[in-house]
Amino acid sequence: MSTSPEPIRPKSSAFSRYLFVLLFGLVLGAVAAVMLLNAWKARQDPFPESLMHVQGWHMKQLGTKASENRCAATDIIPHLKALRVTADDLETAFPDESDDERFRKHASAMRATLDEAQANPPINCDGVNAAAAKIGENCKACHQDFKG
Ligand code: HEC
């Protein structure tokens, strides 16, 4: 009678100690995970994706203008200019990728296309579509090698 509680007490206290260590470990793990996630988020640079979205926006504008039959120089050239200026930042935006010669070639090819489009600006909407298609090829070429 008197010996029966004896083996139970150490067992249950060992169990609660293990449980405590387990829970403590879980909490510590969760805290560490949150801290790591925050650090990772803070380190992520918004610039490269922003640059891409700005270029995407200007490309879309070219398509919209052409579909609306607004293809005067004043409609089109600002977007070509914006694409050309932002194309100068491709290497800065993707410092790791720009170590690769293929990346630098794709960036140069895009700048060359845009220089040509500005030197011989499209005079009608067919020309705008053709210029946009050429620029789009440059986007695609780089994305095939470096995106995703
Ligand atoms: C020289 C290389 C290069 C060129 C040229 C280029 N891009 Fe990109 N682009 C990238 C890379 C690399 C990514 C992947 C970015 C990432 O997810 O980290 C990307 C991603 C994107 C994205 C997705 C952004 C996101 O939310 O992740 C869009 C949109 C985009 N590019 C649009 C364009 C357009 C439009 C052009 C042409 C006018 C273009 N890009 C030209 C390298 C390039």
Query: Which of these, 83, 63, 65, 84, lies nearest to 73 by C-alpha position?
Result: 65
Asked if residue 146 has its Cβ within 6 Å of ligand 1, the reply is: yes
Are residues 79 and 118 in contact, defined by beta-carbon separation less than 8 angstroms? no
Q: What digits encode the pLDDT tens for the residues 53-80? A: 999 999 999 999 999 999 999 999 999 9
| pLDDT score, position 2 | 53
- Residue-wise pLDDT tens digits, 113-144: 999 999 999 999 999 999 999 999 999 999 99
CA distance 85 to 111: 9
Nearest atom of ligand 1 to the alpha carbon of 94: 12
Which atom of ligand 1 approaches the CA of 56 most closely?
A: 35
